[in-house]
């Protein structure tokens, strides 16, 4: 009997747990450790911060769902990992594992600049607690509107929420008749708007720039936030931006218990992986989602992180689950690797952009992707809302990727995983 432990119950951890329980015989034990009692659909947190939806509507209680599926659940925060003894500790407790899947998401580096985050002078939409505080601050802002500054700091691994927050704010302010009282400035470390940390794709830069111009948003590109004061943000180029409200995405890094283990991660705490998403040195450890190290396709003047969208994260989880099943002898098949195809919906209130990258990073040799599409329209708003409902239904029902979802992806020319070539398998072993 094998004991598989998953740390994290978000977009990566929970679907991976469901998939493992679905494909592994019952003698194998699956345990999920989570710091929070609920699964949260993180892509909808900008809506929560704007008061466009409630936090409760995008959450699923973990304990009854996991219990129903025969998955052990522990509410706790991992403090220590000993990969040699294959043991993890949380509080005064510890458990051993045969396989460990780290799917924690990122730790927010709020100490990168003094004054950053809800305990400082700016807001964030990176977790449920921050989104609620952002909404509370937003309500106060509506009573006394002023300059609005939105953006991201260097090493943020997902810039989409900053774009969404900016244009959702414009949408809400217009509906309330307050837009003329608010100047909106978007600050990004990207070399150009629409770069997205992946070197841009299709007409992403053109569409993003068009939306910002049409909504009267000033865009400051290639900018690093260097200091934050109660009502001022200082940029590396010497410019000072006054603000009455600011939402800045912080830099991302791996969790502390990962960074403390020599050789487990890079200097920022992100975990290197083989094509199977197993760690190169610790054969019992796999990684899924934001915590995975993916190197940027190019070196930018200001460092950026590569985004790991929900679909990419889910694909990593499916690959890891199947590769563990293969190692346990449940399947007789070659290992698989996630394709890293990505679909991302960016909602702007009454319109939005659909980004489709196949795969998310361009080919190293050609600098191109097999396919890259960026489409805009009112339908994107509805599509994101429908996808949110669908994903939450999956998490409540306890399934990862049902057959009809695989069929739909196939019809779109996409897939979550692909078999590894024989030569790659030999190299990994």
Q: What residues act catalytically?
A: 158, 344
Sign of CA dihedral 397, 402, 405, 409: positive
Tokens of 418: 């692909």
Check if the beta carbon of residue 110 is closer than 8 Å to that of residue 250: yes
Tokens of 18: 């469901």
Q: In the 8-state DSSP scheme, what is residue 291?
A: G
Check if the beta carbon of residue 274 is closer than 8 Å to that of residue 280: yes
Report the interhelical angle of 13-23 vs 310-327 (nearest 10°).
30
Beta-sheet strands, E only, within 26-182:
29-34, 38-40, 59-61, 72-75, 80-82, 87-90, 93-96, 99-102, 107-108, 148-152
Rounded distance between C-alpha atoms, residue 269 and residue 258, angstroms: 6
Rounded distance between C-alpha atoms, residue 143 and residue 10, angstroms: 35
Sign of CA dihedral 277, 281, 284, 285: negative
Task: Write out the DSSP string of 50-95.
Answer: HTSS-SGGGEEEHHHHHHHTT-EEEE----EEETTTTEEEETTEEE
Q: Is 311 helix (H, G, I), strand (E, B) or coil?
A: helix
Q: In the 8-state DSSP scheme, what is residue 193?
A: T
Rounded distance between C-alpha atoms, residue 227 and residue 264, angstroms: 32
Between strands 352-358 and 342-347, the pairing is: antiparallel
Which one, of 230, 203, 139, lies nearest residue 176 by Cα?
Answer: 139
Q: In the 8-state DSSP scheme, what is residue 358?
A: E
Angle at 15 between CA 153 and CA 387, to 5 degrees: 70
């Amino acid at each position: 009997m094998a004991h598989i432990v998953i740390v994290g119950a978000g977009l990566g951890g929970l679907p991976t747990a469901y998939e493992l329980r679905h494909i592994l015989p019952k003698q194998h034990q699956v345990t999920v450790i989570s710091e929070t009692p609920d699964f949260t659909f993180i892509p909808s947190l900008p809506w929560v911060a704007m008061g466009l939806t409630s936090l409760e509507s995008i959450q699923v209680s973990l304990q009854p769902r996991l219990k129903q599926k025969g998955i052990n659940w522990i509410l706790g925060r991992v403090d220590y990992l000993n990969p040699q003894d294959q043991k993890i500790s949380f509080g005064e407790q510890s458990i051993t594992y045969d396989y460990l899947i780290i799917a924690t998401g990122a730790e927010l580096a709020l100490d990168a600049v003094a004054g950053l985050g809800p305990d400082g002078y700016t807001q964030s939409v990176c977790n449920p607690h921050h989104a609620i505080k952002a909404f509370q601050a937003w309500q106060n802002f509506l009573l006394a509107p002023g300059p609005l500054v939105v953006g991201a700091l260097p090493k943020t691994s997902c810039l989409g929420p900053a774009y969404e927050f900016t244009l959702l704010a414009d949408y809400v302010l217009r509906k309330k008749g307050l837009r003329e009282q608010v100047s909106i400035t978007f600050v990004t470390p990207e070399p150009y708007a629409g770069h997205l940390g992946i070197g841009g794709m299709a007409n992403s830069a053109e569409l993003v720039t068009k939306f910002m111009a049409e909504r009267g948003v000033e865009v400051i590109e290639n900018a690093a936030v260097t200091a934050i004061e109660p009502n001022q943000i200082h940029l590396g180029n010497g410019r000072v931006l006054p603000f009455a409200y600011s939402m800045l995405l912080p830099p991302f890094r791996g969790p502390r218990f990962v960074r403390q283990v020599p050789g487990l991660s890079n200097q920022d705490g992100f975990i290197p992986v083989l094509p199977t998403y197993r760690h190169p040195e610790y054969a019992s450890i796999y990684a899924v989602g934001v915590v995975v190290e993916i190197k940027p396709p190019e070196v930018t003047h200001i460092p950026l992180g590569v985004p790991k969208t929900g679909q990419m994260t889910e694909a990593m989880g499916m690959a890891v689950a199947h590769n563990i099943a293969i190692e346990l002898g449940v399947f007789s098949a070659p290992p698989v690797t996630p394709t890293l195809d990505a679909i991302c919906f960016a909602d702007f209130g009454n319109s939005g952009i659909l980004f489709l990258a196949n795969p998310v990073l361009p080919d190293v040799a050609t600098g191109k992707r097999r396919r890259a599409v960026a489409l805009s329209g009112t339908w994107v708003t509805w599509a994101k809302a429908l996808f949110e409902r669908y994903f939450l239904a999956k998490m409540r029902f306890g399934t990862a990727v049902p057959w009809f979802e695989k069929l739909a992806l196939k019809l779109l020319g996409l897939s979550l995983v692909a078999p590894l070539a024989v030569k790659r398998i030999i190299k990994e072993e």
